[in-house]
């Protein structure tokens, strides 16, 4: 195909295709964080405890992480249009089930979340590969800048949007809407249906497909390995790192299975997931930096709203508003960063970006119970500016280090690494926070003897936990800043396909 035709040589409207891809992907990825602020409401509605309701997040992370490696096979085997339509259909069905779930059937909501996560695991890598194909190698940075707008903004807007929906009823076109958890799903359901219908008309097959046989052993090993690692890291928030049954054992077994999976892939003529791309030092380095960027973004997005609600006493909606300017910064700068990458490469942007993230994170260590909300919002916006100018240029550089025929596999590997790193990084930040709080909490006896003193010490214990978590996040940013100095200068151009 040429830059403006599909696999059959027919002309395509690449801007309509890209718009539908971005909107559909935005709706799907939005669900990754949208239920965070709704969990207390769901606990009451379904009469479940905090451990049970947390599975709505855990199941999404697990299924999403399992599907990302599978996406490389699906992208190679299934025509682009039908793969995207299938992902949208699965997401629409999952969202419809969630919207209709009776409060006596919590398991149905779990199934709905799993279906949504399946779609997310397919769409995130697919969006990158299709964007690169539609806009060609010369506009690689611009294309992935648009992808970064979606991947960065959707998770950042999720908590604010769900908080706004839950906070109160809204009157739209004479209809009363919002104020309950169903409206979170009810908002995106009609939009998903519209995107699905339009995609049947405007979407085209733009990626080459091959009749590749599915290696069952690889599928089982990747599912079990990545699933166990993600499960163990998700259980940290409930049981802590010292729990062998739910945390240590799953992670150890998962890592061993992944090691065997990687060994098997290296000996396959046509691997299920081509881990040999890590032999490329530039790809390995930039993929590690992408993972650190995601930890910096997702980890603090998780910790900061907890501080705003528990220490500052803000509502879910107002704590979400604190993050909103940062989300807009992602949307504003991601396309700009892509254009700069096309001109200057990733190293300057990465060094500046990680320095900015570090600058915006360190002051969080000094937050108090009375720190002005505006100050926190400004710091978070500075952090997200660093994320915006870092994430997609690094991804562009990683893909540019590979041969053109490795793009789909490289994208899947890059996304898998990023997904696991984000999950583990978030678990580490949360566990450090909770550990510090538990270690510094006053004895229960003080509560009866002097309630005021107990309250003051408990507040300080919470602040100690948040400070430790933010300091660790700054440490991740510092590590990334140092590693970015070893990057290749200038724009990395992809090599030609390997000759048969």
Tell me the per-residue pLDDT of 187-212, one tens digit each, with 9 for 90 and over: 899 999 999 999 998 888 877 877 77
Has residue 497 got a pLDDT over 60? no
User: Mean pLDDT: which of 10-24, 164-178, 394-408 is highest?
Assistant: 10-24
Q: Are 1 and 30 found together in one domain?
A: yes
Based on the fold, state whether residues 447 and 345 are members of the same structural domain. Answer: yes
Q: Residue 397 domain-assigned?
A: yes
Q: Are 197 and 219 members of one domain?
A: no
Residue 14 belongs to a domain: yes
Same domain, residue pair 258 and 111: no
Which of residues 269, 284, 317 is at a domain's end? 269
Tell whether 174 and 246 lie within a shared domain: no
Which residues, in sequence order, are CB contacts of 298 under 8 Å at separation 6+? 155, 422, 425, 426
52 in a structural domain:
yes
**pLDDT for residue 1:** 47
Quote the domain boundaries for residue 152.
1-211
Query: Are 305 and 453 found together in one domain?
Result: yes
d(CA 368, CA 462) in angstroms, rounded, equals 10
What residues have CB less than 8 Å from 166, skipping those under 6 apart?
Answer: 37, 38, 41, 178, 179, 180, 181, 183, 184, 316, 317
Q: Domain boundary residue among 269, 284, 313?
A: 269
Residues 387 and 440 grouped into a single domain: yes
> pTM of the entire structure?
0.78
Into how many domains does the chain fold? 3
Whether 188 and 231 share a structural domain = no
Q: Which of 21, 19, 28 is nearest to 120 (CA)?
A: 28
* Arithmetic mean of pLDDT, 114-120: 93
Whether 70 and 161 map to the same domain: the answer is yes
Q: Is residue 498 part of a domain?
A: no
260 domain-assigned: yes
Judged against a pLDDT cut of 80, whether residue 39 lies above it is answered with no
Shared domain for 250 and 200, answered yes or no, is: no
Per-residue pLDDT of 245-266, as tens digits, reads 888 999 999 999 999 999 998 8
| Average pLDDT, integer, range 422-435 | 77
Of 186, 211, 236, the residue at which a domain comes to its end is 211
At 106 the pLDDT is: 92
**Which of these ranges, 46-60, 80-94, 358-372, has the smallest mean pLDDT?**
46-60
* Model confidence at 329: pLDDT above 50: yes
Concatenated DSSP letters of 254-274:
HHHHHHHHHHHHHT-SS-SS-
| C-alpha–C-alpha distance, residues 200 and 274, integer Å | 31
Q: How many residues in the chain?
A: 500
CA distance 472 to 167: 32
Domain of 357, CATH number, reads 1.20.1250.20
Mean local confidence (pLDDT), 405-428: 77
CB 300 within 8 A of CB 473: yes
| Report for 89-103, 170-184, 225-239, 465-479: range of highest mean pLDDT | 89-103
Lookup: tokens for 147: 């992808």
195 and 309 within one domain:
no
Mean pLDDT confidence for 322-337: 82
Q: Which two tokens stand for residue 21?
A: 């891809």
Over residues 172-176, the mean pLDDT reads 53
Q: Is residue 496 part of a domain?
A: no
Question: Is 497 part of a structural domain of the chain?
Answer: no
The per-residue pLDDT for 168 is 65
* One domain, residues 323 and 355: yes
**Looking at the predicted structure, is the pLDDT value of residue 35 above 90?**
no
CB neighbours of 311 closer than 8 A, spacing ≥ 6?
369, 459, 462, 463, 466
Establish if 409 belongs to a structural domain. yes
Residue 417 sits at the vertex; the CA angle it makes with 411 and 418, to the nearest 5 degrees, is 85
Give the mean pLDDT of the chain.
82
Q: 296-320: per-residue pLDDT in tens?
A: 777 777 778 778 877 888 777 777 7
> Is it the case that residue 2 has pLDDT exceeding 60?
no
Mean pLDDT computed over 58-62:
81
Backbone angles phi, psi at 172, to 5 degrees: -125, 120
Average the pLDDT over 29-57 and give the result.
79
330, 366 contact by CB (below 8 A): no
Task: Report the distance separating Cα 165 and Cα 156, nearest Å.
Answer: 15
pLDDT higher than threshold 80 for residue 25: yes
pLDDT value of position 7: 66
pLDDT value of position 500: 46
pLDDT of residue 496 exceeding 60:
no
Detail the DSSP E strand segments found in 79-237.
Answer: 169-172, 175-178
Mean pLDDT check: name the lowest of 91-100, 200-209, 277-286, 446-455.
446-455
pLDDT band at 113 (very low <50, low <70, confident <90, very high): very high
């Amino acid at each position: 195909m040429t830059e403006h035709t599909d696999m059959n040589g027919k002309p395509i409207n690449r801007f309509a295709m890209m718009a539908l891809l971005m909107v559909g992907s935005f709706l799907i990825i939005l669900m990754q964080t949208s239920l965070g602020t709704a969990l207390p409401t769901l606990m009451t509605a379904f009469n479940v405890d905090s451990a049970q309701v947390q599975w709505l997040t855990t199941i999404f992370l697990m299924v999403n992480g399992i599907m990302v490696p599978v996406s490389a096979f699906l992208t190679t085997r299934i025509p682009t249009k039908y793969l995207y339509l299938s992902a949208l259909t699965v997401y629409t069905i999952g969202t419809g089930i969630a919207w209709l779930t009776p409060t006596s059937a919590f398991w149905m909501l779990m199934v709905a979340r799993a279906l949504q996560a399946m779609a997310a695991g397919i769409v995130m890598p697919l969006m990158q590969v299709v964007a690169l194909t539609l806009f060609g190698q010369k506009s690689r940075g611009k294309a992935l800048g648009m992808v970064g707008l979606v991947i960065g903004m959707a998770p950042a807007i999720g908590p604010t949007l769900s908080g706004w929906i839950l906070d109160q009823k809204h009157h739209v076109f004479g209809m009363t809407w919002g104020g309950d958890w169903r409206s979170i799903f009810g908002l995106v359901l009609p939009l998903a249906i519209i995107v699905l219908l339009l995609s049947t008309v405007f979407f085209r097959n733009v990626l080459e497909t091959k009749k590749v046989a599915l290696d069952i052993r690889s599928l089982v090993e990747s599912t079990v390995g990545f699933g166990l690692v993600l499960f163990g890291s998700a259980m940290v928030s409930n049981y802590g790192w010292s729990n062998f049954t739910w945390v240590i054992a799953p992670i150890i077994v998962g890592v061993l299975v992944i090691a065997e999976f990687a060994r098997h892939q290296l000996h396959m003529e046509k691997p299920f997931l081509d881990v040999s791309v890590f032999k490329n030092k530039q790809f390995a380095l930039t993929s590690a930096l992408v993972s650190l960027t995601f930890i910096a973004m997702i980890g603090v997005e998780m910790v900061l709203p907890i501080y705003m609600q528990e220490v500052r006493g803000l509502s879910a909606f107002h704590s979400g508003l604190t993050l909103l300017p940062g989300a807009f910064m992602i949307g504003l700068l991601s396309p700009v960063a892509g254009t700069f990458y096309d001109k200057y490469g990733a190293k300057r942007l990465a060094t500046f970006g990680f320095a900015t993230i570090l600058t915006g994170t360190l002051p969080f260590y000094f937050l108090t119970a009375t720190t002005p909300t505006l100050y926190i919002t400004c710091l978070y916006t500075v952090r997200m500016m660093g994320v915006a100018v870092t994430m997609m240029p690094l991804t562009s550089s990683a893909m540019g280090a590979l041969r053109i025929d490795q793009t789909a596999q490289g994208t899947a590997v890059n996304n898998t690494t990023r997904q696991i790193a984000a999950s583990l990084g978030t678990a580490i930040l949360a566990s450090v926070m909770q550990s510090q709080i538990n270690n510094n909490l006053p004895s229960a006896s003080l509560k009866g003897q002097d309630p005021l003193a107990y309250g003051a010490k408990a507040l300080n214990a919470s602040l100690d936990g948040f400070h430790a978590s933010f300091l660790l996040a700054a440490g991740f940013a510092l590590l990334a800043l140092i590693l970015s100095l070893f990057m290749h200068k200038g724009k990395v151009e992809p090599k030609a396909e390997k000759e048969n």
